[in-house]
């Protein structure tokens, strides 16, 4: 009797399960922004057609804001192979900005999924993430253009691509995630499908590769498609898809066309796509992707699809400025053979980069110590800024055919938000160096145009040029400074010879004239470079009547400092000079003499060839040049000799003070100001920070130990342009042995 009761109970349970089971194969949730905080959601499911499916005229959705309800089915279609596709739609208005996870869970998956244990008893659970952030702009989810049902053969390479299209042009990335079941939990015992070599997805293109299936059967995998805007994740869609693997002797078709194309917006892109089958089968050739979905001037295929032994399509796209975006477009090409019992599909992902045109008719004119730049009006009104770059020295590189933006080595000197601007003046430039200028247009999503042609400008040399501010190389130990300068090549006829010079020393912010006379060099024996924190020089030139003829740019001495860990000596130095610094040699005292241990193109070096608690001495020698002809080169300058004890970490464990090397003062609340990471703030008894540009001009100074520099000039109150600046910070604090001093110096880069 007991056995009969158990059997009856089992039959009742089986009947109850069969009545409610929907046999879900695949599903996903996408959304479209309606306005405000309202979005229209589309839930797409793929089911085995049965009585339970027919009753599923609505499904239960949780909105992630504490509310949930049933949403109606708006249409369905029987697509064959024992499967129907359903679309459910609803509009939901969220209460406020925030992150929301929209989910649907329905019983149950179809029977016999190989990598989902007891799949017929496991619910289908899918999730989509929505980020509502007005600062990033409202968002539409990616649309997945290829269906999530596919077929493959045992032992044969399988490929799939969801062909995701983002209506907003956001960057997309792809990754495999674990299929979810009841209550959104990872399915216990779930595994990725077994492969003879690899089962993986390309994070950039979204191409799923299974090389190769080992066993026949049905498999489910989940792909997360994530959206990124300005480097911030703004949403994701999870697709739970099904792949049917059969035993078959078939090879997939082959596709012929290039992998990548680039084109300047406004031009037509035209290429041929063809396919063939190694087994001699007929092939159906189609394509999908973002170029066919854009609202303005979408791409077309001629014909829309083709069938035969050698099908062929012509891709045509008349691009325009609305198509400019930071991320390339993707076209997924499908070639499906008509073999039996299983037809195989090959795919190829083609990327298309639509580039913004360059600024045309770019030219310049020297006006005294200024450079006036001009160009023709930029035609792309959807650009948001024109970025003007400058570098010392001219190389006039030619960009590659598909290259956009600016190469390394250029300094951003202006960002013109009025893209109708056609001129800009770069004021008060130091002489002696030729300057190369370029312009790039920037677009809302961060896309950059092709770079303009180069404009190379050289100022008239009518003022003296500083060439050396160096430790006396004959007597490096003394720390005495030799300053040198040159007479200008172009002297106006209004001035009367003989000429004389006046050399000004700026020591720790205090200015004094240290030399007046006809010579072009001076040994300053009143300073010890090893004990100096800030030291700059500039020279004025006068004619026989005392009339001022010109003033040089300031030039600093090389200020070298060192700290240590228990394993290395860490050297850093600054040199704010008007000439170009090409390289730096690092010297170390070994035995009774100094030996060169490194040549670097930076302002820092770490020496790991040291022993704990030993004292080492170092100095550096820099090599530089002006671009003007007739000026001696290289320009060689020496630092002072400094000492450092290894293993005596500064600061101590009780006090730590470190500074960043980059700030981004854009008002987003992150990294907006130059400030230290400090522990033991109450131990600080004194502080002084000076920030200056590469010409030695002091831009900002403070006694605040937290610094809080926001990237503005203290004099002009204006934002300093993006680029590299230098700082010197002196801190006194209470350490283990009483009041101690910490000296830091280095470079800080402003990025916008």
Confidence of residue 668 (pLDDT cuts 50, 70, 90): low
Report CA 405 to chain centroid distance, whole Å.
12
Sequence-distant (≥ 6) Cβ neighbours of residue 732 within 8 angstroms: 684, 685, 686, 687, 739, 740, 741, 742
Mean pLDDT for 123-151 is: 92
pLDDT tens readout for residues 707-735: 999 988 887 777 888 777 888 898 988 87
Annotate 736-748 with three-state secondary structure.
CCEEEEEEEEEEE
DSSP codes of every residue in 301-348: EESS-EEESS-EEEEEEE--GGG--SSPEEEEEEEEE--SS---EEEE
SS3 of 541, please? strand
Residues in the chain: 752
Mean pLDDT for 199-216 is: 95
Question: How many angstroms separate the CA atoms of 698 and 688, rounded?
Answer: 13
Question: How many angstroms separate the CA atoms of 356 and 358, rounded?
Answer: 7
Q: Give 751 or 86, the one with higher predicted confidence.
A: 86
Beta strand 455-458 pairing with 434-442: antiparallel
Report CA 715 to chain centroid distance, whole Å.
33
Question: How many angstroms separate the CA atoms of 129 and 477, rounded?
Answer: 66
Give me the domains of the chain, ranges plus CATH numbers.
Answer: 21-193+220-239 (no CATH), 254-355 (2.60.40.10), 376-444 (no CATH), 461-649 (2.60.40.10), 656-750 (2.60.40)
Sequence-distant (≥ 6) Cβ neighbours of residue 633 within 8 angstroms: 624, 625, 626
**Residue 435 · residue 457 · CB < 8 Å:** yes
Q: Give 738 or 543, the one with higher predicted confidence.
A: 543
Confidence of residue 289 (pLDDT cuts 50, 70, 90): very high
pLDDT of residue 653 exceeding 60, the answer is no
pLDDT of residue 279 exceeding 80, the answer is yes
Confidence of residue 7 (pLDDT cuts 50, 70, 90): very low
Sequence-distant (≥ 6) Cβ neighbours of residue 592 within 8 angstroms: none
Burial class (CB in 10 A: 0-12, 13-18, 19+), 457: buried
Neighbour-count burial for 406-442, b at 16+ CB within 10 Å, e otherwise: beeebbbbbebeebebeebebeebbbbbebbbbbbbb
Closest alpha carbon to 430 in 517, 371, 380: 371
Sequence-distant (≥ 6) Cβ neighbours of residue 619 within 8 angstroms: 471, 476, 560, 587, 594, 638, 639, 640, 641, 642
Q: What DSSP element (H or E) covers 14?
A: helix 2-20
Question: How many angstroms separate the CA atoms of 655 and 664, rounded?
Answer: 27
């Amino acid at each position: 009797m007991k056995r009969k009761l158990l059997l009856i109970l089992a039959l009742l349970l089986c009947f109850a399960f069969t009545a409610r089971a929907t046999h879900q194969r695949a599903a996903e949730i996408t959304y479209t922004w309606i306005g405000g905080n309202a979005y229209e959601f589309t839930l797409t499911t793929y089911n085995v057609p049965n009585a339970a499916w027919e009753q599923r005229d609505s499904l239960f959705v949780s909105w992630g804001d504490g509310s949930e309800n049933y949403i109606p089915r708006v249409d369905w279609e029987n697509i064959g192979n024992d499967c129907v596709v359903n679309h459910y739609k609803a509009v939901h208005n969220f209460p406020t900005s925030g992150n929301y996870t929209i989910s649907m869970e329905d019983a149950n998956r179809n029977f016999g999924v190989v990598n989902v244990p007891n799949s017929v008893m496991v619910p289908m659970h899918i999730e989509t993430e929505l980020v509502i952030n007005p600062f990033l702009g409202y968002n539409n989810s990616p649309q997945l253009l290829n269906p999530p049902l596919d077929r493959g053969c045992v032992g044969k390479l399988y490929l799939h691509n969801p062909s995701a299209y983002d209506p907003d042009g956001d960057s997309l990335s792809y990754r495999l995630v674990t299929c979810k079941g009841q209550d959104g939990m990872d399915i216990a015992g779930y595994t990725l499908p077994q492969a003879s070599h690899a089962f993986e997805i390309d994070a950039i293109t979204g191409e799923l590769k299974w090389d190769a299936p080992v066993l026949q059967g049905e498999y489910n995998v989940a792909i997360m498609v994530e959206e990124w805007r300005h480097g911030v994740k703004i949403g994701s869609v999870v697709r739970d898809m099904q792949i049917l693997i059969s035993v078959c002797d078939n090879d997939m078709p082959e596709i012929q066309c290039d992998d990548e194309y680039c084109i300047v917006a406004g031009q037509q892109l035209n290429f041929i796509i063809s396919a063939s089958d190694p087994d001699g089968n007929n092939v159906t050739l189609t394509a999908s992707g973002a170029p066919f979905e854009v609202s303005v001037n979408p791409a077309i295929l001629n014909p829309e699809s083709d069938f035969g032994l050698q099908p062929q399509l012509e891709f045509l796209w008349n691009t325009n400025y609305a198509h400019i975006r930071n991320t390339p477009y993707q076209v997924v090409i499908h070639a499906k053979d008509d073999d039996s019992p299983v037809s195989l599909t090959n795919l190829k992902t083609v990327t298309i980069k639509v580039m913004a045109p360059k600024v045309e008719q770019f030219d310049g004119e020297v006006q005294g110590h200024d450079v006036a730049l001009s160009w023709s009006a930029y035609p792309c009104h959807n650009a948001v800024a024109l970025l003007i770059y400058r570098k010392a020295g001219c190389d006039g590189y030619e960009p590659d055919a598909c290259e956009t933006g600016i190469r390394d080595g250029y300094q951003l000197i202006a960002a013109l938000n009025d893209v109708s601007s056609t001129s800009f003046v770069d004021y008060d430039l130091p002489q002696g160096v030729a300057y190369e200028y370029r312009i790039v247009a920037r677009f809302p999503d961060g896309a950059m145009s092709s770079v303009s042609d180069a404009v190379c400008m050289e100022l008239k040399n009518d003022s003296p040029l500083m060439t050396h501010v160096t430790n006396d190389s004959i007597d490096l130990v003394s720390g005495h400074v030799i300053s040198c300068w040159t007479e200008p090549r172009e002297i106006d006829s209004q001035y009367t010879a003989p000429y004389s010079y006046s050399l000004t020393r700026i020591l720790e912010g205090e200015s004094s004239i240290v030399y007046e006379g006809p010579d072009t060099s001076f040994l300053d024996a009143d300073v010890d470079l090893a004990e100096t924190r800030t030291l700059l020089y500039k020279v004025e030139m006068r004619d026989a009547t005392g009339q001022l003829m010109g003033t040089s740019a300031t030039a600093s001495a090389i200020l070298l400092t060192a700290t240590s860990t228990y394993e290395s000596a860490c050297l850093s130095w600054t040199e704010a000079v008007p000439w170009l610094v090409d390289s730096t040699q690092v010297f170390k005292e070994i035995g009774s003499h100094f030996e060169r241990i490194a040549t670097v193109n930076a302002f820092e070096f770490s020496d790991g060839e040291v022993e704990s608690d030993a004292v080492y001495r170092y100095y550096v020698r820099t090599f530089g040049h002006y671009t003007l002809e007739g000026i001696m080169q290289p320009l060689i300058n020496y630092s002072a000799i400094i000492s450092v004890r290894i293993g005596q970490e500064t600061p101590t464990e009780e006090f730590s003070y470190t500074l960043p090397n980059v700030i981004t003062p854009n008002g987003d609340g992150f990294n907006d100001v130059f400030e230290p990471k400090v522990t033991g703030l109450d131990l600080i008894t004194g502080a002084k920070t000076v920030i200056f540009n590469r010409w030695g001009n002091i831009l900002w100074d403070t006694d605040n130990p937290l610094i809080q520099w926001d990237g503005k000039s203290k004099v002009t109150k204006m934002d300093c342009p993006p680029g590299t600046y230098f700082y010197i910070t002196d801190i006194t604090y209470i350490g283990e042995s009483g009041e101690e001093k910490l000296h830091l110096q280095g470079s800080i880069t402003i990025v916008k």
